[in-house]
Structure 1
Amino acid sequence: MRPTDREILRLAFPAFLALVAEPLFLLADAAIVGHLGTPELAGLGVAAAVLQTVVGLCVFLAYGTTGSVARKLGAGDRRGALSQGIDGVWLAVLIGAVTTVVGVASTPLLVAAFDPGPAVTDFATTYLRIAFLGTTPLLVMLATTGILRGLQDTRTPLVVAVVGNILNVVLNVLLVYGVGSFDGLGIAGSALGSVLAQVISAGLLLAVVVQVARSEQAPLRPHLGGVRGAASAGVPLLIRTLTLRAALLLTVYAVVLAAQDAAGAERDLATHQLALTLWSFLAFALDAIAIAAQAITGRALGAGDVVGTRALTRRMIQWGVVSGCVTGVGLAAASPWLGVLFTEDAAVRRLLIPVLIIAALGQPVAGVVFVLDGVLIGAGDGRYLAWAGLVALVAYLPLLLLGALVGGSVVWIWVAFAGGFMAARCAVLLHRARGSAWLVTGAG
């Protein structure tokens, strides 16, 4: 096996298991809530779209931190790497506190923006208002995970992810359905169980980072300049992520727009939620290679190794294509049976099959997209990623509108998403990777 492949596997395999575990929070929620009823599942879909958008906008706390910490590590400044990472954690706490207050207060408005119908609105509002309480722990998890990945440690996040998901499943089952004389809280119990699991997971990751920082005598108090610098460096990645979340939110809105009536909207939203959850599951699995790319690219460029970075990028693209083919074949093969795991609604099960087939066909392209995204994030090329995200979003909008108004089906909406949007992202990322403007060396 090539040395590059061994390095990729050393980082990517634990990251793969951890990233697969992360979507299990939503998969477990979908499986447990789905058996309460279709309106509850549709409500979870709306709430999850909002929550994933809010938290997803702050993914720079993990991705940006991984690249910057790895650069300083490659340059031989381990203490500086940890100091910069700690500032990122304080930034996560600040953003999380503000987001929690604003999110809880604006929950009814956020749900109403989707106009999902009275029954679905009630369930979505209940879930989202409670789930917002877990925002700060989620953001702290992102920041601390980014630090550990930058230090080339992907095993610790894996252990915490496994523990967190086991707790999530146990707490969800107990709080949703109850035990003994306790009748359960329904969909509210699902949200509460996830929040408790997130708090415990964040505490475990933070404890590890603090221990490592103390061993390197890195400061634990917030440094205003460092926090401000982390926020400034995250702006381009925030814009990049905003374009991705905008595409997902507009896709949800298009599903409602394409529906013929309230019953159709409920069925299509439930189908879309299941398909998107499974897509996210596979996307996070593909992102494991991108995580390795972030860590290795940042370290290599920090050490001034341009030739090695080029070789890594070529190899990563090959890994992305192969991984996408494997996940695509697996999803297509399992599509007739996956619906049974999440819902008892026969109409949702039937509609889910063609949607998953389309999602499967888009997996090889998605593999390349995630890999190149990771390479450029590791290189600190956030400004280009921001512009590339805007270009891809603009290209996607007419295709999405065509799928909603002309196709009039969630199936055609997924053709636009898995085909048009991902193809546009792939084109702009490949264009950048062929050039050399992103190959900037040094610790900064």
Structure 2
Amino acid sequence: MNPATPAEPAPAPPKPAPASYRRIASLALPALVVLAAEPIYLLIDTAVVGHLGAVPLGGLALGGVIMGLAPLVGAVLAYGTTARASRRYGAGDRAGAVAEGVQGTWLALAAGLFMIVAIEIFAGPLAGLMGDDPAVEAAAAEWLRVAILGAPFLLVAGAGQGWMRAVQDTKRPMWFVSVSFLLSAVLAPVLVYPAGLGLVGSAWANAVAQAISGVLFLLALRRERVSLALDWPLMSKQLVANGDLIVRGIAFQVSSFSAAAVAARVGTAALGAHQIGMQLWFFAALALDAVAIAAQALIGADLGAGRPDTARASAKRITVVGVGYGVVFLVLIFALLPVLPDLFTKDASVHEQLGYIWPWLVLLLPVAGVVFALDGVLIGAGDLRFMRNMTVISIASGLPFTWLTLVFGWGLTGIWGGIAVYMLVRLGLILWRLRSGAWAVTGAERA
């Protein structure tokens, strides 16, 4: 009798492949529409208000910087929710991922109502602290008191985008945001000119867009059939996780406030030019952030499922996409430079000041493509403490150039040179972290 043939060992399960470029694009392109919608609206708003004159444009610049706290908190809610919820989704717990979104929404409503109260009381003093022209300060305060009414809805939309990105649904947010801001882009010129509301008309258009978007995200959350009750233990975990992002956001806000305050002291024309330059920068930054959104969802899911090698391989592909994307934006903005100034204002003094901004804006775009893509990798990994420290160090490196502008008379060149220093330091630190591999911690929750 022949001895039994030994059984062949079972083949090893296939090794999970890193995210394909097609998969990255399938998540990034709808996110691009979402991210680009608001800055496109703000560019339209800047162009509409710019034709009212230098004072309303300066008022929008100051008011927009102060109001920038709201989208900053919205980004914290979105990124913090994605960082936690994507791991749960990767571990097979979709209901747990959506539950993170519920608590994020409660936090959004509370923060938004607090902002309304604070701005209605302190709009005037804040504008006075930032500005150097009483007419510009008054315009900024008037705009702020209306624009802040949309803050709770803006923050709810941020939390909604967070949990939807985590479950790798970027198409519904695309439609929610696109519809609301398309309506607002139509309302802004109508309310500013034919309705005769001037600068305040732009604030009402802004608030309407945010309200529509926020309601659509609330309805989507309700359709998930999960408990909408407050969950204090889960919310407390979100608050701890969001703490690092809040510090990071405050650092960004210090940078924005400093740049706007110094530009205001350079002159009204410089402040108007800085507003145009910053809106173009924010547009490019948020559009480039589409790759980061894809990275958050993919990296978080890989690490939640216990696949660190796959996450590292996906991160390398995401870096390549970020570089290419930044170069595309460089070419696009460079090609449009001859026509951009006239789109925003006919004021010759503002045009002259814009000439100091263009070289910095164009050359920083490829750097931004890499930095923002890798931001998404580290946020998806929940590496929020490093993100906090990196941001504080890089902004602290650039701020001296901004403030020394007042001493040495560097004007907008000094302000934007400070932005360049901050971005280059940030690039170096984030590439070092990616190479270290210390960010790739697995599990449904990051310890």
Shorter chain as denominator, the TM-score bin is over 0.9
Q: Which amino acid aligns with 2:432?
A: H
Q: Does structure 2 retain, via aligned residues, the 8 Å contact 1:331–1:357?
A: no
The 5-angstrom pairing of residues 310-349 of structure 1 reads 310-349=312-351
- Show the counterpart of 1:227: 235
Q: Does structure 2 retain, via aligned residues, the 8 Å contact 1:57–1:245?
A: no
- Show the counterpart of 1:271: 273
- Show the counterpart of 1:188: 200
Q: Which amino acid aligns with 1:222?
A: L
The 5-angstrom pairing of residues 165-176 of structure 1 reads 165-176=181-192
- Show the counterpart of 1:262: none
Q: Which of 389, 395, 398 is the aligned partner of 2:397?
A: 395
- Structure 1 residues 321-362: Cα deviation after superposition (integer angstroms, max 9, x where no partner): 111111112212212210111111012123213412221101
Q: Which of 212, 216, 219 is the aligned partner of 1:200?
A: 212
Structure 1 residue 415 displacement after superposition: 2.1
- List structure 1 segments (4+ residues) > 6 angstroms apart after TM superposition: none
- Structure 1 residues 75-128: Cα deviation after superposition (integer angstroms, max 9, x where no partner): 001111111211111111111111111121110111011123021112111101
Q: Which amino acid aligns with 2:48?
A: I
Query: Is the aligned partner of 1:282 residue 2:284?
Result: yes
- Structure 1 residues 20-59: Cα deviation after superposition (integer angstroms, max 9, x where no partner): 1121231121111111111101100000001113431442
- Show the counterpart of 1:65: 81
- Show the counterpart of 1:377: 379
- For residues 369 and 3 of structure 1, what CA distance do their matches in structure 2 show? 19
The 5-angstrom pairing of residues 250-269 of structure 1 reads 250-257=258-265, 259=266, 265-269=267-271
Q: Does structure 2 retain, via aligned residues, the 8 Å contact 1:365–1:423?
A: yes
- For residues 96 and 389 of structure 2, what CA distance do their matches in structure 1 show? 30
- Show the counterpart of 1:29: 45
Compared CA separation, residues 277 and 430, structure 1 to 2 (3 A) = same
Q: Does structure 1 retain, via aligned residues, the 8 Å contact 2:312–2:437?
A: no
Q: Which amino acid aligns with 1:184?
A: G
Structure 2: segments with no counterpart, 5+ residues = 1-17
Q: Does structure 1 retain, via aligned residues, the 8 Å contact 2:319–2:374?
A: yes
Q: Which amino acid aligns with 2:278?
A: L
Compared CA separation, residues 3 and 224, structure 1 to 2 (3 A) = closer
- For residues 82 and 135 of structure 1, what CA distance do their matches in structure 2 show? 22
Q: Does structure 2 retain, via aligned residues, the 8 Å contact 1:404–1:410?
A: no
Given the two structures, how large is their TM-score scaled by the length of structure 1? 0.93
- For residues 24 and 408 of structure 1, what CA distance do their matches in structure 2 show? 30
- Show the counterpart of 2:26: 10
Given the two structures, how large is their TM-score scaled by the length of structure 2? 0.93
Structure 1 residue 399 displacement after superposition: 2.5
Q: Does structure 1 retain, via aligned residues, the 8 Å contact 2:73–2:155?
A: no
Compared CA separation, residues 84 and 196, structure 1 to 2 (3 A) = same
Matched position secondary structure for 1:23: helix
Identity over the aligned pairs, expressed in percent? Answer: 38
Compared CA separation, residues 93 and 291, structure 1 to 2 (3 A) = same
Query: Is the aligned partner of 1:140 residue 2:148?
Result: no
- For residues 332 and 413 of structure 1, what CA distance do their matches in structure 2 show? 20
- Show the counterpart of 2:63: 47
Q: Which amino acid aligns with 1:126?
A: E
Q: Which moved more, 1:401-410 or 1:56-65?
A: 401-410
Q: Which amino acid aligns with 1:231?
A: L
- Structure 1 residues 245-299: Cα deviation after superposition (integer angstroms, max 9, x where no partner): 2111111122234x2xxxxx10000000000000000001110000000010100
Structure 1 residue 195 displacement after superposition: 0.5
- Structure 1 residues 299-321: Cα deviation after superposition (integer angstroms, max 9, x where no partner): 01000111111111111111111
Q: Which amino acid aligns with 1:254?
A: V
Q: Does structure 1 retain, via aligned residues, the 8 Å contact 2:258–2:403?
A: no
Q: Which amino acid aligns with 1:65?
A: T
- For residues 269 and 132 of structure 1, what CA distance do their matches in structure 2 show? 22
- Structure 1 residues 152-208: Cα deviation after superposition (integer angstroms, max 9, x where no partner): 011111111211111111221222112xxxx42111111012101210111012111
Matched position secondary structure for 2:154: helix
Matched position secondary structure for 1:344: coil
- For residues 39 and 329 of structure 1, what CA distance do their matches in structure 2 show? 32
Q: Which of 253, 273, 298 is the aligned partner of 1:245?
A: 253
- Show the counterpart of 1:359: 361
Q: Does structure 2 retain, via aligned residues, the 8 Å contact 1:58–1:238?
A: no
Q: Does structure 2 retain, via aligned residues, the 8 Å contact 1:301–1:442?
A: yes
- For residues 96 and 231 of structure 1, what CA distance do their matches in structure 2 show? 15
Q: Which amino acid aligns with 2:202?
A: S
Matched position secondary structure for 1:14: helix
Q: Which moved more, 1:325-334 or 1:300-309?
A: 325-334
- For residues 288 and 413 of structure 1, what CA distance do their matches in structure 2 show? 27
- For residues 355 and 287 of structure 2, what CA distance do their matches in structure 1 show? 21
- Structure 1 residues 121-145: Cα deviation after superposition (integer angstroms, max 9, x where no partner): 1211110111111110110010011
Q: Which moved more, 1:349-358 or 1:57-66?
A: 349-358
Q: Which amino acid aligns with 1:436?
A: G
- Show the counterpart of 1:426: 427
Q: Which of 1 and 2 has greater Rg?
A: 2
- Show the counterpart of 2:11: none
Structure 1: segments with no counterpart, 5+ residues = 260-264
Q: Does structure 2 retain, via aligned residues, the 8 Å contact 1:332–1:357?
A: no
Cα RMSD between the aligned structures? 1.6
Q: Does structure 2 retain, via aligned residues, the 8 Å contact 1:46–1:114?
A: yes
Q: Does structure 2 retain, via aligned residues, the 8 Å contact 1:404–1:412?
A: no
Query: Is the aligned partner of 1:126 residue 2:142?
Result: yes
Q: Which of 98, 104, 115 is the aligned partner of 1:99?
A: 115
